[in-house]
Copies of this chain bind each other. A is one copy, B any other.
């Protein structure tokens, strides 16, 4: 049941048609953790600077998230991202980004995390992803994400990372960029050819596509009118998927389909408010109710 996530922990400033927030908790590993923790305890590996607010640490500690792997560097500053969404909010416009501590040496996986069975490597340099993975002794499920920067600058290293994982969770634009395929099923199949046994392509408000050797499965997004801030939706989706797979202890095609529902529901909560506001205190009962309701929406026979 042990689920390790390594990725960014950040301080965000976000502007959407619903409003603006400044200096709020964010980062891929954080969004992932709050979704996954609905299903299993989460082990967080990441690094922040001396400016990381104690209140943010309190938020993380309020759930079953083990912070043994959270390194605080006193001479550094935390990763900062300022973004803006407009119109249909399908794409974030990055206004400003300061890597800060993320540009320094990567954090270490603590010895007490080395026995983790499920590992999610959120987006970072693909070589770092492999170095982090090498510190886990015998994981049974490893999944990674990536981003356009590494596809452009570190393609060979990224493909080497793909050879080392069981699954990939990636967005549509990146999967096209990485494979050169316009059709997303073809893109997924090309990625399967590099090693993973499953590829999940995230399509934002249009849902997600699962590609395995058994074929392609498409799931729509949860139909909602309440979109306040899409930040973290993709990481929450991955957290819901991986948390569920970790709890189930398997990742066959049927379990993956069920996991897609959990990922979709996790993302649907995250986007209802800024930062972690909606999911910070989210109860398992609320999650279960929406999962059941979404399964009802998905009945077509």
Contacts and interface: CB of A to CB of B under 8 A. Distances in A.
Contact of A207 (B183, B218, B225, B258): B218
Contacts of A301: 258, 261, 295
B258 A185 contact: no
B225 A217 contact: no
Given A182-B87, A300-B295, A218 B218 contact: no
B223 A217 contact: yes
A97 B220 CA distance: 35
A54 interface: no
A47 interface: no
Interface in A216-246: 216-221, 223-225, 227
A295 B295 CA distance: 14
A122 to B, nearest CB: 25
A217 B185 contact: no
Given A207-B218, A219-B220, A225 B300 contact: no
Interface residues of A, number: 31
Which of A182, A219, A223 is packed against the most chain B CB atoms within 10 Å? Answer: A223
A257 interface: yes
A183 to B, nearest CB: 5
B220 A258 contact: no
Nearest to A206: B206
A149 B286 CA distance: 44
A163 interface: no
B217 A297 contact: yes
A132 to B, nearest CB: 32
A207 B218 CA distance: 10
Contacts of A215: 223, 297
A66 interface: no
Given A257-B299, A300-B258, A300-B260, A183 B227 contact: yes
Given A87-B182, A227-B183, A297 B218 contact: yes
A275 B50 CA distance: 64
Nearest to A291: B301
A127 to B, nearest CB: 32
18 contacts: A183-B225, A183-B227, A185-B223, A185-B225, A186-B225, A207-B207, A207-B218, A207-B220, A209-B223, A215-B223, A216-B223, A216-B297, A218-B220, A218-B221, A218-B223, A219-B300, A258-B300, A295-B301
Closest 3 pairs (CB-CB, A-B):
A218-B220, A216-B223, A206-B206
